[in-house]
Amino acid sequence: MSHRRNNPTSRHEQEIAAASILGRTRSDATAFWTALSALAACCAAVFAGWAALETRWSALEAEKATKAAVWLQLMNDYEAPEMLTSMKELRAWQQTNPKDFANLFKAMLLTQPKTAAEQHQVDTLDQDRRRVSGFFSRLETLCEGGIIDEQFARKAFGGGTYRFLIDVEKPMQHAKAEALLETKSFSQEDKVAADKREIEVLSFYARVLH
């Protein structure tokens, strides 16, 4: 009876082959999971970038909407009956005495005591002046803050408005500051600050509205 003997060499070779296959399997699995992790990281980066773009786009759209809303409100304020009336009344006052209207306004502010009619007139003129001055001060702030494009402001308010501000509003504002200084409602420091501010406003008018 013959017996088959195991071949040590063959068995050793089989073990080596099995170990090699196992090693390749593990290596392939590691490579697979490494590649999968890299792909997942890449996808995450893509989605993060897309989300950032979406956020940026939404922010830009919101900014445009805000600027448009501010511009429309500004135009509504400018075209409001009260604003138009104030500008007409100030121009009419200036035309009653073109060469000396600012000094007359200052004299009215300083007159004490005033009659009821004088008080009403000076209050009305000052209210009209403050309404116009306040509007263009807001316009300056919005332009310098980048909310309103200066080209839009120039197209909407340039030309005749510039002449009105220079010929009527600024002289009356200067007269008001002089009156406040004389009645000691303004300190000298306040007057210096007001003069500096007036230079800034005139520069804005010349740059944007002229």
153 and 189 in a single domain? The answer is yes
109 and 49 in a single domain? The answer is no
Instruction: Give the count of alpha carbons within 13 A of 17, CB side only.
Output: 6
The pLDDT score that the predictor gives to residue 103 is 95
The pLDDT score that the predictor gives to residue 2 is 47
pTM strictly above 0.75: no
Average pLDDT over residues 71-76: 92
Host domain of residue 42: 1-63
What is the count of structural domains for the chain?
A: 2
1 and 48 in a single domain? The answer is yes
147 and 203 in a single domain? The answer is yes
Of the candidates 168, 169, 154, which has an alpha carbon nearest to the alpha carbon of residue 206? 154
176 and 147 in a single domain? The answer is yes
Residue 83, pLDDT > 50, answer: yes
53 and 84 in a single domain? The answer is no
Using CA atoms, how far apart are residues 170 and 133, in angstroms rounded to an integer?
8
Note whether residue 197 is domain-resident: yes
53 and 91 in a single domain? The answer is no
The pLDDT score that the predictor gives to residue 66 is 82
Tens of pLDDT, residue by residue over 131-168, are: 999 999 999 999 999 999 999 899 888 778 999 999 99
111 and 52 in a single domain? The answer is no
Average pLDDT over the chain, rounded to an integer: 83
Residue 79, pLDDT > 80, answer: yes
Torsion of CA 189, 193, 195, 199, to 10 degrees: 160
With beta carbons less than 8 A apart as the criterion, state whether 121 and 134 touch. Answer: no
Longest dimension (CA), the chain: 147
Of the two residues 123 and 10, the one the predictor is more confident about is 123
146 and 178 in a single domain? The answer is yes
Using CA atoms, how far apart are residues 153 and 75, in angstroms rounded to an integer?
10
